Amino acid sequence: MKKMYVFISFLSLVLGCTSFQKDSQSGKVQELDKEMYTSFGASLTDATILTASDLHDVYSDMVVGDTIQLTLSSTVNSVCKSKGCWMKVNVNDSTEARVTFKDYGFFMPKDIENDTIIAQGKAFIAVSSVEDQKHFAEDAGKSEEEISQITQPEMTYSFIADGVLLKN
């Protein structure tokens, strides 16, 4: 039994020190070239990276209260212009997920729209209050007119990232 614990600990250590990427041609997982990415937050450890369309399928099966640990790769659609404390990433042509950062432990650069990220963390469905939506709209630089049109709570795809890789 003791040997099994030592083996599992060793395996966790080895896998925890390696970052991975899904090869879009073969669907296999391969090591990332770390020089191609800037790292924020915790090191990524999950070997399975979901694409935006995979993420859409995951969210489609979820309800408020569900949470799933995963790693995703997507395009950044927008970032908090105040301090980089959230970003919205593409899930499909008409849907985004709001990504925030665990315990506000790190922030992202404010100029990364259309860049590719890989993020590891927890995906869930949330209900955004009118107050939160207005706050996020202010952070995004929306006009007073646009902000005043927010009048109803909204179901949102949400993600709390432990760590993010930003493609250079």
3-state secondary structure at position 44: coil
* pLDDT > 80? residue 89: yes
The beta strands (E) that lie in 16-153 are given as: 20-22, 29-31, 37-41, 49-50, 67-79, 86-92, 95-101, 116-128
What integer pLDDT is reported at residue 31 of this predicted model?
63
Q: How does residue 21 score in pLDDT terms, banded at 50, 70 and 90?
A: very low
Question: Residues 19, 43: contact at Cβ < 8 Å?
Answer: yes
Q: How does residue 93 score in pLDDT terms, banded at 50, 70 and 90?
A: confident
Among candidates 99, 83, 91, which has minimal Cα distance to 166?
99
Integer angstrom CA distances of residue 20 from 37, 88, 110: 12, 23, 25
What integer pLDDT is reported at residue 35 of this predicted model?
80
* pLDDT > 50? residue 29: no
Q: How does residue 137 score in pLDDT terms, banded at 50, 70 and 90?
A: confident
pLDDT, tens digit (0-9, with 9 covering 90-100), for 30-68: 466 778 999 999 998 866 899 988 999 999 999 998 999
* pLDDT > 80? residue 14: no
What integer pLDDT is reported at residue 18 of this predicted model?
40
